[in-house]
Amino acid sequence: METTTNPTPQFTSKDLVTDQEVRWCPGCGDYSILKQVQTVVPELGIPRENIVFVSGIGCSSRFPYYMETYGMHSIHGRATAIASGLKASRPELSIWIVTGDGDALSIGGNHFIHMLRRNFDMNVLLFNNQIYGLTKGQYSPTSEEGKVTKSTPMGSVDHPFNPIALAMGAEGTFVARSMDRDPVHLKDMLRRSHAHKGTSFLEIYQNCNVFNDGAFEAFTEKSTKKIQTLFVEHGKPLIFGATADKGVKLDGFKPVIVDLKEGESTNDLWIHDEKDLVKAGILSRFFDNPAIEGHFPRPFGVFYTVDRYCYEDAMNAQVEEAIKQKGKGDLNKLLSGREIWEIH
């Protein structure tokens, strides 16, 4: 799917820089994400007064302060609900939700899944650092089993969320993953997210260098990145490895890693189809611990996308129909409802 950009932007990335001091720890992955967002947004051809960033609570949720657009630093876990209400009332706005793994998937989990199934035309950026950074390092819903933190001194016994699988289970219509330390890929995923008509969900692996440094090292470091990551593209085979010498094929519905140096043909490999829900579900489960021998590489890119009507369009169509029917309704009949019981 091609993305469209505006050849003559109305403003530049410098116009999006605010006068606020950026209060993230030196070296935080949030700086890179902010830079890529500020680079991509001017390309989209949207008037700056029609752009809104809404956040919840957490390190990532400082984001609206650093974007010279409209924005709201809302309350814990409720950015999705607030943004949904704004989109319903002002459907012409380009709304971006910035949230974290704790903000969205713990206290905000209920709002998160219902926003996805309703499919408002909004963009969700989930900064996943697998830790509670703002509150000084407690384990989060995405922390791995056995994670030793201030709140789990003997190691977490919780099984972590897989955000991609969760988003697909909630009927998300655009589900993708990128990382803070690959700016080229991140910018492409931001463009794809915006181009999608409906709720786009982009999980971004973001390093917290103070409380969870190196959580995604296997996927970001030059020495291991090609071995541990799988960048998926629509219509292309699943190939990875230090010299692009590994591939993934399907044995029925079972994925199998093959060695292309041993005579396996690329023609037999799994061809990624971002419209295939079943295969996207399998791909979302490539979530093994990189330390385990024989594990599958972690996928990055667009897992799944589908066209479905947006909530605000259907709601506003109902409102317009109600306006047309003005004066034709029966209030007593409405209040009485459709079910009547006779008591003898």
Residue of higher predicted confidence among 344 and 99? 99
Distance CA 190, CA 41 (A): 9
On whether residue 286 sits in a domain, the answer given is no
Distance CA 9, CA 30 (A): 25
25 has pLDDT over 80: yes
Identify the CATH number of the domain in which residue 74 sits.
Answer: 3.40.50.970
Tell me the CA distances in angstroms from 108 to 56, 77, 142, one per residue in order. Answer: 9, 4, 14
Can you read off the two tokens belonging to residue 281?
């579900």
pLDDT (tens digit per residue) in 244-268: 999 999 999 999 999 999 888 899 9
On whether residue 302 sits in a domain, the answer given is no
45: containing domain: 13-215
Tell me the CA distances in angstroms from 280 to 19, 150, 158, 175, 199, one per residue in order. Answer: 42, 36, 25, 9, 17
8 has pLDDT over 80: no
On whether residue 267 sits in a domain, the answer given is no
pLDDT (tens digit per residue) in 287-334: 987 767 678 999 999 999 999 999 999 999 999 998 888 877 788 888
On whether residue 339 sits in a domain, the answer given is no
Q: Which amino acid is at 336?
A: S
On whether residue 308 sits in a domain, the answer given is no
Exposure class string for 203-212: b at 16+ Cβ within 10 A, else e: bbbbbbbbbb
Long-range CB pairs of 85-91 (<8 Å, 24+ gap) are 86/52, 86/54, 87/120, 87/121, 87/122, 87/311, 87/312, 88/120, 88/311, 88/312, 88/315, 91/121, 91/312, 91/313, 91/316
Split at pLDDT 50, 70, 90, the class of 342 is confident
Split at pLDDT 50, 70, 90, the class of 1 is very low
DSSP E strands: which ranges in 22-152? 51-55, 70-73, 94-100, 123-128
Task: Give the per-residue pLDDT at 7.
Answer: 54
Exposure class string for 110-140: b at 16+ Cβ within 10 A, else e: ebbbebbebbbbbbbbbbbbbbbbbeebbbb
* Closest C-alpha among 305, 23, 328 to residue 164: 305
Distance CA 213, CA 142 (A): 15
Query: Which residues touch 166 (CB under 8 Å, ≥6 apart)?
Result: 105, 113
On whether residue 268 sits in a domain, the answer given is no
On whether residue 237 sits in a domain, the answer given is no
* Closest C-alpha among 57, 84, 66 to residue 22: 66
Q: Which residues pair with 201 in a beta bridge?
A: 124, 175
Task: Give the per-residue pLDDT at 340.
Answer: 77
The H helix count followed by the E strand count for the chain is 11, 11
Task: Give the per-residue pLDDT at 4.
Answer: 54
On whether residue 210 sits in a domain, the answer given is yes
pLDDT (tens digit per residue) in 52-106: 999 999 999 999 999 999 999 999 999 999 999 999 999 999 999 999 999 999 9
Q: Order the strands of the 246-251 sheet from edge to edge.
A: 239-240, 246-251, 254-259
Q: Order the strands of the 174-179 sheet from edge to edge.
A: 70-73, 51-55, 94-100, 123-128, 200-205, 174-179, 298-305, 229-231
2 has pLDDT over 60: no
10 has pLDDT over 70: yes
pLDDT (tens digit per residue) in 202-232: 999 999 999 999 999 999 999 999 999 999 9
How many domains does the chain contain in total?
A: 1
